[in-house]
Structure 1
């Protein structure tokens, strides 16, 4: 294939734009701030879920405490009733009085046991509520950090989108000045060669595969007409000759 040397030079300009577009795309996919945001999302979700689980535990313990309070109150009321009977003089039968006293003693022991249970549950409720407060504080802190990071990521992506739009426009302008057959060859090679379709021949070395041309290859390139489209024997990319090619 033959092409005007100036058009071949434009391939290097086009390649520069394509390389930059590839760099932008890679940057978007591997943005460190986006990775940090994803990690914050995970931590936030975990703190939120743990907070919900802690709330469920706290609510269950509150219900246990309510039942314990009711049990204690019932025993107290029963003891109050029996104490009233014992102290009022309404019961005169010695056996009944003895039974009342035994029941009061039994109720006192039962009340002490229930109050111990009640106290234990109260302590557990306090611990559960403290855990809820801690997890909610952690969740809220992560939410704020997450929002700040999301804003930073959005700003970075917006900048990259702006640059991509500019580079895409510049690429289109350069491509419009390249003959269709040369551009088509470049695009085919670029698709097969990891996005690099044209390479600069710099001091006898292909900038695409980074390999130095042999003396015979250098001679072939040197003797080729200026309008001949030369390709690297190693990577098959288009070799663009310039004043720095070392020919």
Structure 2
């Protein structure tokens, strides 16, 4: 293929733009905030599971305490009733003696229930502490997520802005180059990881970085200035300048 040497050199400008766009696309895909947000999502999920378990523990203890309080209230009501009947002193002596024994039993039962309630309340205090700790961790993790999302969004906005600037500059640059040269450039770029044209410098291909053989150098020296030369190894376009070592 033939192309004006100046057009070939301008391919390097186009390649620089395309390389910058590829780097921006890579930055977009690999923002550290993405990994951070994935880690935070896992952390938040685990913390939410812990919060649910801690809340269930507190709720279970609340139900047990409420049941004990109800039992204690029932014992107190029965005690008050028996005490009132005993105070009145009416009825057979055997019945009054039975009331006295029942009051003793009810006092013992109330003491046992109140001891159980106190133990459950201590357990509840511990369980509430665990729940409060998990909720604090959730708040901190959510704040970290919000900060990471803000950084991600800002980084993406910056990348989009740079991409727009590069893309707007690329269009006129590509439009001024011969269509067949651009077609070749695009085919090579698609098949070679994005790098299609590189400067030949010091007898080396700027694409694969390999030193050219004497045969290749002789072939390139013999090529006309408007001949589009390509590396025998990587098949990329080698743009010749005074730095090429020819």
| TM-score, with length taken from structure 2 | 0.93
Q: Contact 2:89–2:96 at 8 Å: present in 1 too?
A: no
2:28 alignment partner in structure 1: 28
RMSD after superposition? 1.7
CA offset at residue 91 of structure 1? 3.0
1:136-160 per-residue CA deviation (whole Å, 9 max, x = no partner) reads 2222222222222222221111111
SS in 2 for 1:22: helix
SS in 1 for 2:124: helix
CA distance in 1, matches of 2:164, 2:46: 38
CA distance in 2, matches of 1:168, 1:73: 79
1:51 aligns to 2:47 (yes or no): no
Could you tell which deviates more after superposition, 61-70 or 231-240? Answer: 61-70
Any residues of structure 2 matched to 1:42-191 within 5 Å, and which? 42-93=42-93, 95-191=94-190
1:153-197 per-residue CA deviation (whole Å, 9 max, x = no partner) reads 211111111001111111212111111111111111111111111
1:198 alignment partner in structure 2: 197
CA distance in 1, matches of 2:129, 2:112: 26
CA offset at residue 230 of structure 1? 0.6
Q: Contact 2:15–2:197 at 8 Å: present in 1 too?
A: yes
CA distance in 1, matches of 2:2, 2:78: 110
CA offset at residue 49 of structure 1? 4.2
CA distance in 2, matches of 1:137, 1:15: 51
CA distance in 2, matches of 1:211, 1:4: 25
CA distance in 1, matches of 2:207, 2:101: 101
CA distance in 2, matches of 1:164, 1:150: 21
CA offset at residue 228 of structure 1? 0.7
CA distance in 1, matches of 2:161, 2:48: 36
Could you tell which deviates more after superposition, 234-243 or 113-122? Answer: 113-122
SS in 2 for 1:199: strand
CA offset at residue 89 of structure 1? 0.8
CA distance in 2, matches of 1:170, 1:53: 57
Could you tell which deviates more after superposition, 148-157 or 67-76? Answer: 148-157
Q: Which runs of 5+ in 1 are unaligned?
A: none
CA offset at residue 132 of structure 1? 2.5
CA distance in 1, matches of 2:112, 2:91: 28
